[in-house]
């Protein structure tokens, strides 16, 4: 199926207009390897045009204030809700997330993101107080044009999550989606136009990270850079933003622990552990290191294997499918490379460890020979979990905190005291106890260590996209 058949524009969206590049790149569906679009391959000229459009649109957008901006975000949210089916179909074809998840919750979360931030920005009152004979106020000034760079694994959800606070806070935007899944953001551009955003407020450019992405993040007219992706790319972008003294925020990779204590509901823990293979493990927040107390290892594993056996690898458009193909042949090679190196190094492949046709990979469990093993210490971003045992709570916490990452952690225990103790000790931006992926959009979201810099979520993100001014008037 071609972009024409999909009726998705392959072009950039700059200053409210579609703009084509001379060069294009192929967008391939992971479902069957067909080329579904030839996408405009932007470079320095497109990045410059988009930032200049955002720069020109900034004063009027900033002057609207939160109340004046909110109706645009609400309108965009309504249009997303009205187009769930189409967005879901395109996203499924483009990056193979399960169609039923996209229809049921993932796309509508995009609408929720814009609504939540429209309302949060209006409700976020300026603080004023008296001290030392002056009347003081904290004023939030919109920061200026912002760049947002997003990864391929949840392109629509993450692009809306990251652009909503920027727009609500009064920044204008240039969004650069990932080259492996560019289509849903192109549809988003259509909805931005339909929602009536002033031209230049929200621009979207397509292309390769090292080309248009690098040109974008080093542009001197930007006042904020926000990135979600790998720590490796994060380092490059941090350097570019740093060179221009532009505040930078990064949501990076994860290698979360899923800790199962002997007092846990083992069935619930095993079901959730098997659920870490969802989206074929292409989830930054996944608890990919199973840490299971020795006394319940066998009982846990028996249940875990039974739940993993229920997974069905297949076409993400089919209702019966629970595990989709991986995004790209290069990514499949990367994932299977981790497993092959583990095998050669003497780690035990407990289950899986093989390709399963097309871009599918079997759900895999590896028992490493030591905590230093590559599969324990590095993010794989595929359906590969590791299994390690522990005897005491202290040991569990030490293992959980033993990687450079610190995005998330999951704990299963029936003791509230232990939940509190362990939860407090984990070095992570988010910890879930007896649950996973439950999100309150006002909570801080981000990573510790190489999992990120700064926090998204609620007013934390609104502050990032603002300059805070202390205004002090002698009384």
Please select the residue that binds ligand NAD; options are 11, 251, 279, 463, rule is CB under 6 A. 251
* End-to-end Cα spacing for the chain: 69
Residue nearest to ligand NAD (CB): 209
Tell me the sheet residues that pair with 18: 13
Q: Which of 91, 185, 284, 379 is catalytic?
A: 284
- Kindly indicate which of the ranges 10-18, 145-153, 318-326, 365-373 contains the residues binding ligand NAD, using the contact rule CB under 6 A: 145-153
Q: Residues of 318-341 as b/e, b for ≥16 C-beta within 10 angstroms? A: eeebbbbbbbbeebbeebbebbee
Asked whether position 230 contacts ligand NAD by CB under 6 A, the answer is yes
Asked whether position 217 contacts ligand NAD by CB under 6 A, the answer is yes
Please select the residue that binds ligand NAD; options are 15, 253, 358, 409, rule is CB under 6 A. 253
- What distance separates the 2 farthest-apart alpha carbons in the chain? 74
Q: Which of 179, 211, 251, 362 is catalytic?
A: 251
Asked whether position 332 contacts ligand NAD by CB under 6 A, the answer is no
Asked whether position 213 contacts ligand NAD by CB under 6 A, the answer is yes
Asked whether position 408 contacts ligand NAD by CB under 6 A, the answer is no
Asked whether position 214 contacts ligand NAD by CB under 6 A, the answer is yes
In 3D space, the residue among 270, 245, 207, 280 whose CA is nearest the CA of residue 436 turns out to be 270
In 3D space, the residue among 52, 54, 56, 90 whose CA is nearest the CA of residue 192 turns out to be 54
Cβ proximity to ligand NAD: between 96 and 266 the closer is: 96
Shortest approach of ligand NAD to residue 230 CB, angstroms?
3
| 366 vs 375: CA distance, rounded Å | 8
251 is catalytic: yes
Please select the residue that binds ligand NAD; options are 236, 289, 303, 418, rule is CB under 6 A. 236
**Alpha helices of 218-373 — where are they, by DSSP H?**
231-243, 266-274, 297-309, 329-345
| 187 vs 157: CA distance, rounded Å | 13
Both tokens of residue 52?
């200049």
Asked whether position 287 contacts ligand NAD by CB under 6 A, the answer is no
Please select the residue that binds ligand NAD; options are 61, 72, 117, 152, rule is CB under 6 A. 152
Asked whether position 153 contacts ligand NAD by CB under 6 A, the answer is yes
Q: Calculate ∠ Cα 384-390-393, nearest 5°.
A: 120
- Kindly indicate which of the ranges 34-42, 61-69, 232-240, 413-421 contains the residues binding ligand NAD, using the contact rule CB under 6 A: 232-240
Both tokens of residue 299?
């009982």
Asked whether position 91 contacts ligand NAD by CB under 6 A, the answer is no
Both tokens of residue 312?
């069905």
Please select the residue that binds ligand NAD; options are 21, 29, 159, 233, rule is CB under 6 A. 233
Please select the residue that binds ligand NAD; options are 94, 179, 278, 347, rule is CB under 6 A. 179
404 phi/psi in degrees, rounded to 5: -75, -15
Asked whether position 28 contacts ligand NAD by CB under 6 A, the answer is no
Cβ proximity to ligand NAD: between 16 and 406 the closer is: 406
Please select the residue that binds ligand NAD; options are 278, 279, 362, 379, rule is CB under 6 A. 379
Please select the residue that binds ligand NAD; options are 37, 93, 148, 284, rule is CB under 6 A. 284
**Helices and strands (H and E) in the chain: how many:** 17, 20
473 phi/psi in degrees, rounded to 5: -120, 125
At 138 the three-state DSSP class reads strand
The helix (H) or strand (E) run that includes residue 412 is: strand 408-412
Asked whether position 335 contacts ligand NAD by CB under 6 A, the answer is no
Instruction: List, in order, residues 6 or more apart from 216 with CB less than 8 Å away.
Output: 47, 50, 51, 147, 149, 174, 176, 205, 222
| 269 vs 255: CA distance, rounded Å | 18
Both tokens of residue 40?
């405009």
- Kindly indicate which of the ranges 166-174, 229-237, 270-278, 353-361 contains the residues binding ligand NAD, using the contact rule CB under 6 A: 229-237
284 is catalytic: yes
Q: Concatenate the DSSP letters of all residues of 70-102 into one string.
A: HHHHHHHHHHHHHTHHHHHHHHHHHH---HHHI
At 179 the three-state DSSP class reads coil
Asked whether position 252 contacts ligand NAD by CB under 6 A, the answer is yes
Q: Looking only at residues 428 through 457 of this chain, which bind ligand NAD when binding is defined by CB under 6 A?
A: 447, 452
Cβ proximity to ligand NAD: between 213 and 458 the closer is: 213
* Number of residues this chain uses to bind ligand NAD (CB under 6 A): 30
Shortest approach of ligand NAD to residue 423 CB, angstroms?
19
Shortest approach of ligand NAD to residue 447 CB, angstroms?
6
**Is 448 within 8 Å of 406 (Cβ atoms)?**
yes
Asked whether position 330 contacts ligand NAD by CB under 6 A, the answer is no
Please select the residue that binds ligand NAD; options are 178, 384, 385, 428, rule is CB under 6 A. 178
**Alpha helices of 245-328 — where are they, by DSSP H?**
266-274, 297-309
Cβ proximity to ligand NAD: between 29 and 233 the closer is: 233
Q: How many CB atoms lie within 10 A of CB 113?
A: 26
Which residue numbers are catalytic? 251, 284
Give the interface with ligand NAD as residue ranges (CB under 6 A): 149-153, 158, 176, 178-179, 209-210, 213-214, 217, 228-230, 233, 236-237, 251-254, 284, 379, 381, 407, 447, 452
């Amino acid at each position: 199926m071609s972009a024409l058949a999909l009726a998705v524009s392959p072009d950039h969206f700059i200053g409210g207009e579609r703009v084509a590049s001379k060069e294009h790149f192929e967008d391939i569906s992971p479902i069957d390897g067909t080329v579904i679009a030839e996408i405009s391959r932007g470079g320095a000229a497109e990045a410059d045009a988009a930032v200049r459009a955002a720069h020109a649109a900034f004063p009027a957008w900033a002057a609207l204030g939160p109340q004046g901006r909110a109706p645009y975000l609400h309108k965009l949210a309504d249009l997303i809700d009205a187009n769930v089916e189409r967005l879901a179909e395109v996203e499924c074809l483009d990056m193979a997330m399960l169609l039923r998840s996209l229809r049921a919750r993932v796309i509508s979360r995009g609408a929720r993101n814009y609504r939540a931030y429209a309302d949060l920005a209006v409700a976020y009152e300026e603080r004023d107080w008296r001290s030392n004979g002056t009347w003081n106020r904290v004023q939030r000034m919109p920061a200026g044009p912002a760049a947002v760079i997003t990864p391929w694994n949840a392109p629509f959800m993450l692009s809306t999550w990251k652009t909503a606070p920027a727009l609500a806070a009064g920044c204008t935007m240039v969004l650069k989606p990932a080259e492996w899944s560019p289509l849903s953001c192109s549809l988003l551009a259509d909805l931005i136009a339909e929602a009536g955003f002033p031209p230049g407020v929200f621009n979207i450019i397509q292309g390769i990270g090292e080309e248009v992405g690098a040109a974008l993040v080093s542009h001197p007219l930007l006042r904020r850079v926000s990135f979600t992706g790998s720590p490796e790319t994060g380092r490059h972008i941090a350097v570019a933003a740093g060179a221009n003294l532009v505040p930078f925020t990064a949501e990076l990779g994860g290698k979360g622990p899923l800790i199962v204590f002997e007092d846990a509901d083992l069935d619930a823990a095993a079901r959730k552990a098997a659920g870490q293979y969802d989206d074929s493990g292409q989830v930054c927040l996944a608890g990919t290191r199973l840490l299971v107390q020795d006394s319940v290892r066998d009982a846990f594993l028996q249940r875990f294997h039974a739940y993993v056996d229920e997974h069905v690898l297949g076409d993400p458009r089919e209702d019966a499918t629970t595990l989709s193909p991986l995004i790209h042949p290069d990514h499949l090679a990367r994932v299977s490379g981790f497993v092959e190196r583990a095998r050669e190094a003497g780690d035990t492949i407990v289950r899986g460890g093989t390709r399963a046709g097309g871009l599918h990979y079997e759900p895999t469990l590896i028992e490493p020979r030591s905590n230093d093993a590559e599969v324990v210490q590095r993010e794989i971003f595929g359906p590969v979990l590791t299994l390690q045992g522990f005897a005491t709570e202290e040991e569990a916490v030490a293992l959980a905190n033993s990687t450079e990452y610190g995005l998330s952690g999951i704990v299963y225990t029936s003791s509230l005291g232990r939940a509190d103790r362990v939860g407090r000790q984990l070095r992570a931006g988010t910890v879930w106890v007896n649950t996973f992926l439950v999100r309150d959009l006002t909570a801080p979201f981000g990573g510790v260590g190489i999992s990120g810099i700064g926090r998204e979520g609620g007013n934390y993100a609104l502050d990032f996209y603002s300059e805070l001014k202390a205004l002090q008037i002698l009384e």
